[in-house]
Structure 1
């Protein structure tokens, strides 16, 4: 099965031509490489694998081998606005907003609430799937779940000195 996802990295000083060649040699020949923003690397993968976990983890490993100094910023799709969700699901943004407003107690809680609220895509897709009225490609939800897990694990490592149980009790 093919899984589509994006890996975004912060780079040290890297020569773009050499970087693209190293990525190809390391097994990232199934990715579109974006190096237009200085100090950043984005890889849009279309990776064949038995499941989403293996697709994302193998891509992360390939990039690590090619560019060991690269620092992972994000695995996408994960953090999304209503417009992003609407595009993925194939409905209008207005339709997504109506769903959110019509189901305030069950619609997933945003990660950030403000003029532009942000959700974890996996949460919204799982909610839509449970409603039963939307046909979702299984691999999109699988990739969103893996992206969420990788991003949360990456961020959790940044929390010095606070035990997991203490944190879980505070945010529970």
Structure 2
């Protein structure tokens, strides 16, 4: 099965030769990724990876990138953080339709990651909610990729938690 996802990284100051980076990525097994280097000090890899499951595809890609660019720091795995327009595009409905669904089901619609302008959700949370409603044709492969990238992003953020706060916070946010 082919899985489509993106990994975005921050590069170390001394690792800025993009041609060399692309070559190292290719040699490390990232020949199934399109590499973007538009923003200074950043790199994005859009993968189309064959694998038995979404998690294996993402896990091996993370490993391959780390092997090629050991100093790179993961910024974000995607698809994960989305607004209503992004979800509407995936679900094949209008943004207005998504907003109506959100407002009509305030206690059931998934909680956002960030509430404000813009409001942002984890894609997997909204896709699962839509799929469970039964009226939307949502690809199970896309749900699997979105669930996996969400876990990568949560793990990345969790390593930032101070150990002394970890147990206390886990008890309060459940």
**TM over 0.5, shorter chain:** yes
For residue 14 of structure 1, give the secondary structure of its aligned residue in structure 2.
Answer: coil
Matched residue, 2:104:
102
Equivalent residues in 2 for 1:115-154, closer than 5 Å: 115-154=117-156
Let me know the Cα RMSD of the aligned residues. Answer: 1.0
Corresponding position of 2:3 = 3
Deviation at 1:161, TM superposition (A): 2.5
Q: State TM-score, norm by structure 2.
A: 0.96
What is the alpha-carbon distance in structure 2 between the residues aligned to residue 90 and residue 9 of structure 1?
Answer: 30
- CA deviation map 1:109-161 (0-9, x unaligned): 11111121000111000100110110111110000000111110110001113
C-alpha distance after superposition, 1:9-57 (max 9, x if no partner)? 0001320111111111111111110001100000000100000010000
Q: Which runs of 5+ in 1 are unaligned?
A: none
Secondary structure at the counterpart of residue 162 of structure 1: helix
Matched residues in 1 for 2:19 and 2:10: separation?
17
The SS at the match of 1:8 is strand
Q: Does 1:114 align with 2:95?
A: no
Q: How many residues align?
A: 172
C-alpha distance in 2 between matches for 1:2 and 1:162: 41
Which residue among 75, 83, 86 is the counterpart of 2:85? 83
**TM-score relative to the length of structure 1:** 0.97
Q: CA deviation at 1:171?
A: 1.3
